Amino acid sequence: MTIALSIANLTAAVGGREILKGIHLDLPFGEVHALMGPNGSGKSTLCHVLSGRHGYEVVGSASLAGAPLFGLDVDERARLGLMQGFQYPVEIPGVKLGEFVAEAAAEAGMGEDEIERRVAEAAEKFDMTRFLERGVNEDLSGGEKKRSEIFQMAVLGPKVALLDEIDSGLDIDAVREVAEAVEVMRSPEVGVLMITHYSRILRYVIPDRVHVMVDGRLVDSGGPELAEELEAGGYEAVRARLGLVPGGENGQAKGPETKMTDLFTDLPFET
């Protein structure tokens, strides 16, 4: 089993405040892992730290197909094969999607013919043909933006795909569409880390593993049944089983200022 993404003992802080508190995670090629957790648990921070966004004090290690990531710039990590699908994809008016993705593919060393073929195939597969001549994400619906992220991944062929809340803000039909696109991405050449707050997308994408992040730590990992437990009982059920109290160090309560209500009512399933 070759590891696409390996994270060991990763901590990350901003301005002295620790957000990630010792993350270990192995994502093999060919697998889709779901990373779930309440709002504010550190999921996006993990993505940003892996992608190379500045401003974090990072300790620990992360490697992509065996190559260390930390110390490399964002573009160097991308060249190695790391790609992040954003929670909020930005609109880039005036830059056509087709040209944008072709340029990125050329930067990645693909020849013209291959680029043309891959863009056409992926556009067909993800129903993006009519968007190729339009500005990147310009006036696209939420679901179309997320599909566009996956389309770009299909052209560029990352080794590791980080999908940050690929399902957030979408209606149920769009969630199903995006989920199908994630299933299409599944291949022995890529490891997919699908970050989600809600378990509803996991009705359509069956992950190989589910990891639960609470307060900057992975408190539980398991098979798809873990997502079912979350859908049925929320993060509260997982906390109760693990004996965690929300809000504090190692899940231990900190004090009266801790916002308990937010975490207790934070059900991962949205009707």
Minimum separation from the CB atom of position 214 to ligand ADP (A):
10
Of 37 and 157, CB closest to Mg ion: 37
84 binds Mg ion (CB under 5 A): no
CA angle 115, 119, 125 (to 5 degrees): 145
Q: Cα separations (Å) of 104 from 112, 151, 155, 179?
A: 12, 13, 9, 25
Give the span between the Cα atoms of 215 and 90, in whole angstroms.
28
Give the span between the Cα atoms of 205 and 200, in whole angstroms.
9
Contact flags string 44-83 toward Mg ion, x per CB under 5 A: x---------------------------------------
Of 27 and 50, CB closest to ligand ADP: 50
- From ligand ADP, Mg ion, none, which one binds at residue 252 (CB under 5 to 8 Å depending on kind)? none
Question: Given the DSSP bridges, would you call strands 217-222 and 67-68 parallel, antiparallel or unpaired?
Answer: unpaired
- From ligand ADP, Mg ion, none, which one binds at residue 41 (CB under 5 to 8 Å depending on kind)? ligand ADP
Stretch of residues binding Mg ion (CB under 5 A), selected from 24-32, 39-47, 227-235, 262-270? 39-47
- Tell me the helices (H) and strands (E) count for the chain, helix number first: 8, 12
- From ligand ADP, Mg ion, none, which one binds at residue 42 (CB under 5 to 8 Å depending on kind)? ligand ADP
Neighbours of 228 (CB within 10 A): 15
Taking phi first (over 0 means left), then psi (-120 to 50 degrees means alpha), and beta for anything else, what does residue 24 get? Answer: beta
Closest CA to 37 of 240, 170, 193, 230: 230
Taking phi first (over 0 means left), then psi (-120 to 50 degrees means alpha), and beta for anything else, what does residue 113 get? Answer: alpha
Please give the residue whose beta carbon sits closest to Mg ion in the complex: 44
Minimum separation from the CB atom of position 62 to ligand ADP (A):
16
Instruction: Give the interface with ligand ADP as residue ranges (CB under 6 A).
Output: 14, 19, 37, 39-45, 55
- From Mg ion, ligand ADP, none, which one binds at residue 84 (CB under 5 to 8 Å depending on kind)? none
Minimum separation from the CB atom of position 33 to Mg ion (A):
16
- From ligand ADP, Mg ion, none, which one binds at residue 260 (CB under 5 to 8 Å depending on kind)? none
Binding site for Mg ion (CB under 5 A): 43-44
